[in-house]
């Protein structure tokens, strides 16, 4: 009996000695877990690179998937002839605060500035859905130029601010394939520059808005004065529709 008491006494003493260490280790583990952020959910936020090509897709050179994609997005996909380059290598970046910037190497008319604008989640807004994919939409605009002598095929330079383009930019993100997106662009031309002067056509000074003065593009030509028309309406300036596949630019 005494040996049993001695055993239990020794075991109890050892346990009492170990408890602070066990508590310390448990506390340290909990603290470490609290400092370690949970893995972020897949997101379209980031920088992307890819190629856009005009719709309707060509059965001879494009995949059946993209032929069907163009048909779902724009039907017969009307466009204004001689305005769309045959491809547009593109580099859009989507920021978590909703800002979007984009650049490309398929300029319409001539060179243009980097585009800037806003993107957001897209739902219940009349745009086509694709199963399993999260839709986002954006609009941005750039300032463009033309050649000094546009009728001279040897004039490859640029001289004059002459135009702007504001596209509808729609992406489809698959959380199970988070480093690739597809989507479409519908660029709308904004002819708000006087071809004779190279200056923006503005509203005249109005006593009802004295702060604006003559600094706001004329009504009907204002790039950011309202939403884009639905779909691609050529009579309202839509040049056509592009479809694209872009891949995430990741760290090495």
pLDDT band at 11 (very low <50, low <70, confident <90, very high): very low
* Conformation bin of residue 126: beta by default, left when phi > 0, alpha when psi is -120 to 50: left
The pLDDT of residue 14 is 45
Model confidence at 192: pLDDT above 50: yes
Contacts of 205 (CB under 8 A, 6+ apart): 213, 214
**Tens of pLDDT, residues 30-69:** 556 666 666 778 899 999 999 999 999 988 888 899 999 9
Assigned token pair, 147: 């050649």
Task: Count Cβ neighbours within 10 Å for each residue of 9-28 and write b for 16 or more, e otherwise.
Answer: eeeeeeeeeeeeeeeeeeee
Closest among 181, 155, 188 to 246, alpha carbons compared: 181
Max Cα-Cα span within the chain: 112
What does the domain layout of the chain look like in residue ranges? 1-36, 46-248
The pLDDT of residue 132 is 93
Secondary structure of residue 88 in the 3-state scheme: strand
Model confidence at 175: pLDDT above 90: yes
190: which DSSP letter? E
Assigned token pair, 37: 């952020």
C-alpha to C-alpha distance for 228 and 149, rounded to whole angstroms: 31
Place of tokens 């380059």: 85
Environment class of residue 157 by beta-carbon count within 10 Å: exposed (0-12), middle (13-18) or buried (19+)? Answer: exposed
Which of 26 and 23 is assigned the larger pLDDT? Answer: 26
Distance from chain centroid for Cα 99:
9
Q: What is the pTM of this model?
A: 0.79
The pLDDT of residue 7 is 47
Instruction: Tell me the pLDDT of the chain averaged across its residues.
Output: 84
Residues 105, 209 contacting (CB under 8 angstroms): no
Residues 119, 138 contacting (CB under 8 angstroms): yes
C-alpha distances in Å from residue 34, one per residue of 25, 29, 107: 14, 9, 49
Closest among 195, 213, 149, 139 to 169, alpha carbons compared: 139
Residues 180, 246 contacting (CB under 8 angstroms): yes
């Amino acid at each position: 009996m005494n040996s049993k008491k001695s055993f239990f006494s020794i075991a109890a003493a050892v346990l009492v000695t170990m408890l602070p260490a066990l508590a310390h280790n448990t506390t340290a583990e909990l603290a470490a877990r609290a400092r370690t952020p949970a893995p972020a959910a897949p997101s379209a936020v980031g920088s992307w690179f890819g190629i856009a090509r005009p719709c309707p897709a060509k059965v001879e050179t494009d995949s059946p998937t993209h032929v069907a994609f163009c048909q779902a997005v724009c039907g017969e996909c009307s466009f204004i002839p001689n305005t769309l380059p045959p491809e547009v290598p593109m580099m859009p970046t989507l920021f978590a605060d909703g800002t979007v910037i984009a650049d490309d190497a398929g300029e319409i008319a001539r060179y243009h500035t980097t585009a800037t604008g806003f993107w957001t989640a897209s739902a219940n807004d009349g745009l086509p859905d694709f199963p399993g994919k999260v839709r986002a939409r954006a609009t941005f605009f750039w300032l463009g130029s033309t050649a000094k002598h546009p009728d001279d095929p040897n004039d490859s330079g640029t001289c004059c601010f002459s135009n702007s383009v504001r596209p509808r930019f729609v992406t489809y993100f698959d959380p199970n394939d988070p480093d690739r997106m597809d989507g479409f662009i519908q660029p709308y031309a904004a002819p708000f520059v006087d071809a004779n002067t190279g200056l923006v056509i503005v509203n005249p000074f109005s006593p009802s808005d004295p702060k604006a003065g003559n600094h706001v593009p004329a009504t009907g030509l204002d790039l950011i004065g309202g939403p884009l028309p639905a779909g691609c309406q050529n009579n309202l300036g839509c040049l056509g529709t592009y479809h694209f596949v872009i891949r995430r630019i990741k760290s090495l």
